[in-house]
């Protein structure tokens, strides 16, 4: 008789760490989603926190391989409905539940589109020359002055502005190509 092959022990904390990272990575999108269907910024963070706590407490119910973002967003939708009911008692909400469902559906579609656009942008940025990437970084991440950079490099200030304009146009075309290939 063959003996069963011992299975390696799975460290449950590894799954918890990965789950926590995935939840935290979607926090900004979740906040945007909640704000799009319940535009009360002072209550939004409470809903996001409750949703994150709910997802954490129910992580064992999540089926691995399914869409975590959709699962969490659906939980946020129901948490938002509950908050909306509470707010109605305080006369803060005027949308009907049907309108709220339509807004939620549109917000979910926008989130999917935003994810695709972000992925396309990352791909396009990875193809840039180091100098071009540095120019974009200076302008949009570091919020630096193109005029100061031009003076440092003994260039006319409008030359960097034109280069930046060409880069933005090239990125837009690259993103559109990637998105059209995706569809």
What is the residue-wise DSSP string for 21-48? HHHHHHHHHHHHHHHHHS--HHHHHHHH
* Domains defined along the chain, listed by start: 13-107 (1.10.1740.10), 127-183 (no CATH)
Q: What are phi and psi of 131, to 5 degrees?
A: -65, -40
pTM: 0.48
Q: Is 143 left (phi over 0), alpha (psi -120 to 50) or beta?
A: left
CA distance 45 to 147: 39
pLDDT tens digits for the chain (183 residues)? 445 444 434 334 447 888 888 888 888 889 888 888 887 787 888 999 999 999 989 888 888 778 888 899 999 999 988 887 777 666 655 566 677 677 777 777 777 667 788 888 888 989 999 999 988 888 888 888 888 888 898 989 899 899 999 999 999 999 889 888 866
């Amino acid at each position: 008789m063959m003996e069963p092959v011992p299975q390696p022990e799975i460290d449950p904390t590894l799954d918890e760490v990965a789950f926590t990272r995935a939840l935290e990575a979607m926090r900004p999108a979740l906040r945007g989603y909640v704000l799009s269907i319940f535009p009360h910024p002072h209550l939004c963070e409470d809903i996001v926190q409750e949703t994150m706590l709910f997802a954490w407490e129910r992580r064992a119910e999540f089926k691995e391989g399914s869409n975590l973002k959709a699962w969490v967003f659906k939980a946020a939708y129901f948490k938002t409905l509950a908050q909306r009911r509470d707010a109605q008692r305080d006369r803060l909400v005027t949308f009907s539940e049907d309108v709220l469902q339509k807004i939620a559906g549109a917000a979910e579609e926008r989130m999917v589109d935003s994810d695709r656009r972000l992925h396309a942008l990352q791909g396009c940025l990875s193809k840039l020359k180091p100098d071009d990437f540095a120019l974009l970084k200076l302008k949009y991440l570091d919020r630096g002055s193109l005029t100061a950079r031009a003076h440092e490099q003994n260039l006319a200030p409008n030359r960097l502005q034109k280069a930046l304009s060409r880069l933005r146009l090239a990125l837009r075309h690259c993103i559109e190509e990637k998105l059209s290939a995706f569809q």
